[in-house]
Amino acid sequence: MNRKIGLVTAGILLALSGAALGQSPGFAQGGEEVKPIFEHALPNVEGKRMVAVLVTYAPGGKSHAHHHAPSAFIYAHVLSGAVRSQVGDEPAKVYKAGEGFYEEPGSHHRVSENASDQEPASLLAVFVVDAKDNPLTTPDPK
């Protein structure tokens, strides 16, 4: 996809689909920014939709431990920098730009953070989820 067209599309979809995540874009206290960039019903899988979000971490930024919607299968692809992730009881692992990981429905995302204190990092997370399953992300109680 042409980068310029992709950025315009991302901006339009951000305006249309922010409510799907149950959170607004912008850097949170942990140093992350989440921007919805795509949402569409899957025409060949009744009751399912695909949602893509861009997660950007400031240097040293992180997400709070969280769960996703119970039906969500997620593939995350690191676009820039390096991201440390721990899903369930698996050991934490650092993924560099060009690498990816997935989360099964019902997984607990214990660690999701920038592996660098000096450079930003970003990833694209693609959800396949039940059409009415919201919010997509719920932070763990503190």
Q: For 32-57, how does the pLDDT look when each residue is reduced to its tens digit (9 = 90+)?
A: 999 999 999 999 999 999 999 999 99
Residue 79 confidence (pLDDT): 98
pLDDT at 14 over 70: no
Rounded CA-CA distance 57/80 in Å is 10
pLDDT at 6 over 60: no
Rounded to an integer, the average pLDDT of 3-22 is 37
* Residue 20 banded pLDDT, cuts 50, 70, 90: very low
Torsion 28-71-102-140 (CA) sign: positive
Alpha-carbon 76 to chain mean position: 7
Nearest to 47 by CA among 118, 102, 105, 129: 129
Which domains does the chain possess?
3-134 (2.60.120.10)
Bridge partners of 52, per DSSP, are 38, 126
Residue 29 confidence (pLDDT): 53
Residue 28 confidence (pLDDT): 53
Rounded CA-CA distance 132/137 in Å is 14
Rounded CA-CA distance 80/96 in Å is 7
Asked whether 107 and 90 are in contact (CB, 8 A), the reply is no
* Residue 21 banded pLDDT, cuts 50, 70, 90: very low
Per-state percent for the chain, helix, strand, coil, to nearest 5: 15, 45, 40
Q: For 91-142, how does the pLDDT look when each residue is reduced to its tens digit (9 = 90+)?
A: 999 999 999 999 999 999 999 999 999 999 999 999 999 999 999 999 999 7
Looking at this protein, which amino acid is placed at residue 131?
A
pLDDT at 22 over 70: no
- Classify residue 12 as exposed, middle or buried by CB count within 10 Å of its CB (0-12, 13-18, 19+): exposed
Alpha-carbon 90 to chain mean position: 19
Distances (CA, A) of 72 to 19, 33, 105, 130: 17, 20, 5, 7
Rounded to an integer, the average pLDDT of 15-41 is 64
